[in-house]
Structure 1
Amino acid sequence: MSSFPTTATSACPTPLLPLVGADVEIPLVDGRTVRHANFDGAASAPASVAVAQRVTDVLPWYASVHRGAGYASQVSTALYERAREDVGRFVGARPDDVTIITRNTTDALNLLASAVPGRVLTLDVEHHANLLPWDRSQGGHEVVRAQPTVAGTLSALQGVLAARRFALLAVTGTSNVTGESLPLAAVVDLAHRYGCRIVVDGAQLLAHRRLSLEDSGVDYVAFSGHKLYAPFGAGALVGRRDWLDHAAPHLAGGGAVRQVSSSAVQWATSPARHEGGTPNLVGVVAMAAAAAELSAVPDEELRQHEEQLHRALLDGLRALPEVDVARIWVDSAEPVGVVTFRLRETDPGLLAAFLAAEHGVSVRDGRFCAHPLLDRLGWGAGAVRASIGIGTTGDDVDRLLAGLQAWVAGDQQARYAQEDGVWVVVDDPRPTPSGIDLVALAATAGVCS
């Protein structure tokens, strides 16, 4: 038996919103089945029940979007353009802003990178989606090392902005590794003081906190539906129109043009200019439904739900021996519900495999597409990330902590081995879901790091 203190989060909030799959029972290696405790929403969140229902309602009317004379096509076009308006409203778009539907956050930031008429500045704490695209901008980009304090980091940004001309400052709304944020008002003021626009990578932020472009002064925001409980393949870039109207089309093709001849092309303005091809009607409708659902949850209710579970998880982690919790800044405000940690001398991939196989808990392991930040922390070998969201319960937190306590106490029932760099259960007895082909499951489980 473990000598660790038992957790006491049973009084913690129940789910704020119902999610598809929240009641799924998954098999363990000892033959039991348990309800899935999913702490991997920071990577990709399950659909909410309301989003899935909205998709079901829309599918019978699915048809071509734009220029179709048929009734279903006209309905689909109206649904698409209304969803665009709803997505823009979700992030407080200004009257003259444009909302462009993309595939995901990475796609949105690559689109903006092609439109920036100058040099881009970023910090080294960013997700790869907010680091790698900027080399494609006209002036390239420069990376500033974040300092141990928020004040020091703001000072470092100011020093670079004052010394050299930049067109755009690209910052995360909240870190996908630690859940921390810089004070947005201060960052916006700093960028605008030096004639620089600002884009916020909202992929992690918007499932946890509100953002209004109009109220904050942020120039652009990029985000994904699959982080917002709408995993149907749509994202968005919302912000100022001028750069985007002058940029080369993101996808050259049908829908992005006004006129084509054998010798010339007249491109449309945004958003059509950057939405070549058949648009993802289902994806944007799902994203708009998620935006409406999240907007209806009172800010304070969302914050309290998350903070209570976040504190319970941190308290439980700190009660374990030799646990490190990742932080960027010693003086940052309360993070959102993203906790990255490591147990010293424990391979994070092995720990994640154990939690899944023996406790029914899904966490993320690896370097979370934030390699420079993990290297800075000295965690180049990776870590474990647990993310808290609208579907997380106190029982979920208790089960995660119980699994970690069992690991520390040496209570493992299965044998594990690495196959192609991924930890798997040796002679795994768990059955696969009926009707679902899981060939090469282990081989593909670790593709994204």
Structure 2
Amino acid sequence: MRSDLAQPYGQDRLPRYTSYPTAPHFSPAIGEEDYRRWLKSISLQQPASMYLHVPFCRSMCWYCGCHSSVTKREDPIANYAAGLRTEAGLVAETIGQRLPISHIHFGGGTPTIMSPEMFADLVGALRYAYFVLPDAEIAVEIDPRTLTEQMTKALGYCGVNRASLGVQSFDPAVQRAINRMQSFEQTAASVARLRHLGIKRINFDLLYGLPLQTVDSCLDTVAKCIELRPDRFSVFGYAHVPSFKRHQRKIADDALPGSIKRHLQSETIAEALLDAGYVRIGLDHFALPDDNLAIARQDGRLKRNFQGYTDDSADTLIGLGASAIGRMPQGFIQNIVPTRDYLARIAEGRPAIAKGYRFTAEDRFRADIIERIMCDLAVDLSRISKVHGRDLKSAIVDRSRIERLIVDGAVTMIDDRLSISEGAEFLVRSVASAFDAHLASSAATHSRAV
């Protein structure tokens, strides 16, 4: 690993490039009528994907960067679930026919905060309004601390076949510092119940760069996780943005590791997972060799979306719920963030759109380049320029950055093919940013590169 590169590049504020352009460039200029037109133009010849955002938790984790809030009551959750069912129906009615769906992802927040009955009703409403394919992947994000046996049974009954469990760290000192006490035993019990009910595709989410976190505690956490043998790992760097997420102010800045320590934590986790037989997927995912992600990576079919890396090739993503982002062939759509405002708009029978973005030919060109860099750690600039009918010379926006990365040995450029060097994979966001024509106006809103 190239730890010498962590300091010079680690302080840069860069997107994670789960989309291009990124969310700071969405505008209220894209609204309800645009969304209606885009929905009506959807082709039914290809399946779409669906994301449902459930913005509630039982307690607030201080590291959280999601749109979520804490509730101890059931009424707000029931009202929100009813809103999701209504919005799903409104979107389907606008499309005009039952759209085939190949992937459904429940995110949050904590989707399993819904009662088993609420969740079953919601999935039933989706199956009624859309044609959920028999082999569709239905994934749910889970907090093992609150997953009940009855809810686990409901997940199995509803056809859920992938579960993503938040782990972050098993170090008690780190858990206290982030307000998330979660034992290994709780996590293992959740995994056992899920597998017993046939939900065998398991993802774990880990974080590095947390307060009081050390290389040794990262190693201990990943060793415990490997015992449970999930199919996939997502290993994210904690993004400390207290100016945007007020609860992050409870985390002391001086308790956070610097760029070099963050890098060491990240690479220590990566090496442990590789030694355990997992395959590295792009920037921050790892998968067993027979997992769909690993196969997609090998075949050159890997994609990137708002949940990270995926083998989902759908051009259309329907976003449902407060703050949810959808992707149409024409551009991005994002719903209103405040839950109350979202429900009020849905109750009026209107799309809950807050803003969006219409793609240009230039955006599609750059999105293609950036996705290949993020997924393959390499890109054939000549090929993509020809596909899009663009001038190869215009591809690189920040040529000085690329030249510096080449001098530092982080990337190579041979016959217009750019490749990230072994050991420098953690700089993939830095490489991708050199092709981002929008970055200059949004850098301050992003997290550190390392």
Q: TM-score, normalised by structure 2?
A: 0.26
Bigger proportion of residues as strand: 2
* Bigger helix fraction: 2
Give the alignment's TM-score, normalised by structure 1.
0.26
